Amino acid sequence: MKFEVTILGSSSATPVYNRNPTAQLLNCNEKFYLIDCGEGTQQQLIRYGFKASKIDYVFISHLHGDHYFGLIGLLSSLHLNGRVKPLKIFGPAALQEILDLQFRHSETVIRYPIEFVITEALHTKQIFENTDLIVETVVLNHRIPCTGFKFKQKKRLRKLLVEKLEAEGINIEYYPLLKRGVDLNLPNGRVLLNSEYTIDSDRPKSYAYCSDTLMDERYFDSIKGCDLLYHEATFLHEMLERANQTHHTTALQAAEVAKITNASKLLIGHFSSRYKTLQGLLDEARSVFEETELAIEGNTYTI
């Protein structure tokens, strides 16, 4: 099953040349989840070959503009392009008020249903579940209420050894039960042991998205053991005082979080506009946690 994230924006606060404010697109089994929606997200979707119409879920971490200023434009374009299927938005309560105000004063009546799910930066909570994923909030420590999100794959059914089943003439009507792990007693007295005709499905994986935050051990349990951890790394560690003032983390601290929480891989982003090149941030993080990559716009990372 496909489980990957594409970086649409990796800059903090303001866009700079070749870097846009935060946005990511998660693809899980060809269902698309937009994570934050900074200014320019629509253009980035077009640039990298994604159809906005395929997005059915939007997750907004907090109400600093570099994480949601692109949302009203995206919603309006979907309306103008004739969308009719529902869209679900997860975000702070005030976001709904902001969107309603925008639509009211532009006299826009969105033609498709928008379901708004309020997130709260108080306690970790499951906010979504479908056949593929479970999504939980991650309570972060920023200047205003802010949540990250943890996307966890669901365990899939067992995989059938189809060639063996066909070779032995096993009726296809038994396949669903075998996939569920059931041993079968056939009418002719034959016993089909599940272990002989199926193998276990792949281990479910997880992706944690930690947007703006101070390094704070209170969210470590929420992201423990992730296959891929995205963590903001706004500054080099020489700027620690500035990071603390603005409630952000350094590349070194992001790597320490990955190491402490036993992440398999670390993806750092949300880079300050002061950095024209990013190699120093990568080097700093890798000095603590070797399995680190930069969140480069247009790149897709398999989870």
Q: Which of 36, 66, 212, 227 is catalytic?
A: 66
Query: What span, in angstroms and rounded, lies between the C-alpha atoms of 225 and 184?
Result: 36
Q: Tokens 């979080």 label which residue? A: 257
The total of other beta-carbon atoms located within 10 Å of residue 247's CB is: 17
Q: Say if CB 42 and CB 70 are below 8 A apart.
A: yes
Please choose, from the candidates 21, 20, 87, the residue with its C-alpha nearest in 3D space to the C-alpha of residue 55.
Answer: 87
SS3 26: strand
* Per-residue burial over 88-101, b = 16 or more CB atoms within 10 Å of its CB, e = otherwise: bbbbbeebeeebee
**184: amino acid identity, one letter:** L
Tally the C-alpha atoms within 13 A of residue 284's C-alpha that lie toward its C-beta.
19
What string of DSSP letters covers 99-151? HHHHHHHTT---SS-EEEEE--SSS--EEEE-SSEEEEEEE---SS--EEEEE
Asked if 221 is an active-site residue, the reply is: no
Q: Say if CB 278 and CB 235 are below 8 A apart.
A: no
Q: Is the dihedral of CA 300, 91, 130, 42 positive or negative?
A: negative
Q: What is the set of active-site residues?
A: 66
